[in-house]
Amino acid sequence: MDSKPKDTAHHNLQLLTRNLLYVLELTNAISHGDWGRIEDILGNLAMIFCGAGSNNYCSEILHFLFNLKKIWTPEFACDFSFTFESF
């Protein structure tokens, strides 16, 4: 068992910084239209939503990723991603 006193404020600050870096990466990727970076961050974003109690957002992101990687044909998934790059 850990006998060191826990610094809750420091731990919460680390979690906030990590989550804000995820948001910064996502907004930067969206701004540049980099679908690969967006796809890479979605799994982490789903886990953040799950940890925050937003299970519906988590389920929707995971459902989208499952469709993108397993259900949809590569051609459809590619066309879908290029649709967002044109915005």
For the segment 55-79, the average pLDDT, to the nearest whole number, is 87
- Tokens 């404020």 -> residue: 9
Domain ranges of the chain: 33-87
Q: What is the mean pLDDT of the chain?
A: 85
User: Helix %, strand %, coil % for the chain, to 5?
Assistant: 80, 0, 20
43: left (phi over 0), alpha (psi -120 to 50) or beta: alpha
Q: What percent of the chain has pLDDT over 70?
A: 83
For the segment 41-46, the average pLDDT, to the nearest whole number, is 92
Residue 34: CB atoms within 10 A of its CB come to 13
Q: Is the pTM of this model over 0.75?
A: no
